[in-house]
Structures are given as C-alpha cells and as structure tokens.
Structure 1
C-alpha cells in the first residue's frame, strides 16, 4: 500500500525534510504532501484574482485559494503530521488538526514539551505526540510495517 502523509505546520525549520529523508532511508512506501511552504507565494496566492488595498481582504482571498490545495490534500491523506514550532503561532496548523480530526483522519502532533499545555485539546485528538521528526519516522515505520 502507498501511504499518503500530509505534513502541516511551521515552515521555518527542516522538520519536513528530516521526516521525508528518514522515510526514504527506511524505504517506507509513503507519498508526502504539504501546503505551500513558501511564505511569500502563499501570501500572494489570491493576488492573481484582484488587487486588494486592505490586508484583511488580501489574506482572506489568498487563504481561500490556498485552501483549495490544503483541503483537497487533507481529504486524500491517510495520516497527518501537524508541527507546532515555538517561534510563531501556527493557527493554520491548529485548523488543519481540527480538519483532520473532523474527517476522522489519524494524525500525529509534533512539538516541544513546552507546548503541551497550550495544545492539550489538539494533542487529545491526536493519535500520538512526538517531539522530534525522527520519532515521527519511527511511528510511521511502525504503522506501515506492523
């Protein structure tokens, strides 16, 4: 079986690459998907439709265009991995976790111990909590190979 794994969350560290490389090293049969991780192009996703003088309407328009991708990929995934970093608030990651939960999709949260309390409801809906990308690879390997 080809597993489809959706990687959601912060875009400022190499956690995605570490998971992808770890899965390749273990020869796991996984296809990875993600939202657009280029901050500038993501913010400008709706600009091709019209120019907005208000940041609110620009963000609103771009978020809807980006949601075409994210909602489609989340619906198609078998497992989600939702990363919360400590530097920025990832509201989009929390929204993705809620979408995964609402669709009955199993997901793993990935964050430092310091975020346990603020993410208690998100973690309660997750099937597992990992602190490192390498732990996520271990979890994926177990699920796929057991």
Structure 2
C-alpha cells in the first residue's frame, strides 16, 4: 500500500523537504503533494491564464480561483493531509487547506506548537491527530504501516 500525503501549511521555509527526506529515510511508502510553492507563480497564475486584470484585487481573485482548483484536485486525490502551523508566518492558506481537508473528509494530522493551541482548538478537534512537530506527524504516519 502506498499513500499520497498532501503537505499543507506555510510556504516560506523548507519543512516540506525535511518531511520528504525523513519519510524516505524511514522507507515509508508515501508520495507527497501540496500547494504551489513558487510564490510568484501562485500570485500570477490568474493573469497568465485569464489575462491582465484591472487591479490587484481582481488579480488576487483570479489567482485564488486557479490555486483553489489545483488545491481541490490534489486534496481529493490525497489519502492523508498534514497541515503545519508555525509561529512565524500568517497561516491563512494552512487554515483553508486544513478546513478543506476536513470538508472533504480526509484524515488530517495537524502540526502546531503549544502556543497555537487556543486559536486552532476547533480545527484540532476535527483532526484525527494533533502534534507539536513534524517528527511526531511522521511517527503517526509510520504507525499506519505497522
């Protein structure tokens, strides 16, 4: 059995690469997908497809529609979602992806530090597992294969 894992969460650091490397070192039969990590591409995709927009609000809305399409398709094809909420960056996309995973009835592993317990309490209640770091998330994922 191989699982597809959608890695939702902050895009301004290399946590996804670290998770992929650790999963590989554990020989976990998983493949990974996630949001567009090229920030410029994500911001400009609406205009690339639909043409120049009249202002930044329309540009953002056009890009959001295309990014939401991509995210929805990849989330629906995933078996498990790992959503990382860190302390450093605003987490709007993480929240949206995690909420979408819940709405699509996808198993969710929520990664968040203790300091974010209160703002994420409702989402944590909907997750199958809430952990404090990606190593714990990988341990939970590993347990599936035992």
User: Is 1:132 equivalent to 2:128 in the alignment?
Assistant: no
- Please list every run of at least 4 consecutive aligned residues from structure 1 whose deviation after the TM superposition is greater than 3 angstroms: none
Instruction: Give, in whole Å, the separation in 1 of the partners of 2:13 and 2:93.
Output: 16
User: Is 1:6 equivalent to 2:6 in the alignment?
Assistant: yes
Instruction: Give, in whole Å, the separation in 1 of the partners of 2:61 and 2:114.
Output: 32
Gap regions ≥5 residues in structure 2: none
Question: How far is 1:17 from its partner?
Answer: 1.2
User: Is 1:67 equivalent to 2:68 in the alignment?
Assistant: yes
Question: How far is 1:96 from its partner?
Answer: 1.2
Identify which range, 23-32 or 130-139, moves more after superposition.
130-139
Instruction: Give, in whole Å, the separation in 2 of the partners of 1:74 and 1:82.
Output: 12
1:45-83 deviation per Cα after TM superposition (whole angstroms, max 9, x unaligned): 111121123211111000111112110010011100011
TM-score, with length taken from structure 2: 0.94
User: Is 1:82 equivalent to 2:83 in the alignment?
Assistant: yes
Instruction: Give, in whole Å, the separation in 2 of the partners of 1:111 and 1:11.
Output: 15
RMSD: 1.1
Aligned 8 A contact 1:19 1:136 in 2: no
Instruction: Give, in whole Å, the separation in 1 of the partners of 2:28 and 2:121.
Output: 30
TM-score, with length taken from structure 1: 0.94
> Who is 2:19 aligned against?
19
Gap regions ≥5 residues in structure 1: none
> Who is 1:30 aligned against?
30
Aligned length: 145
> Who is 1:95 aligned against?
96
| SS of corresponding position for 2:109 | strand
> Who is 1:52 aligned against?
53
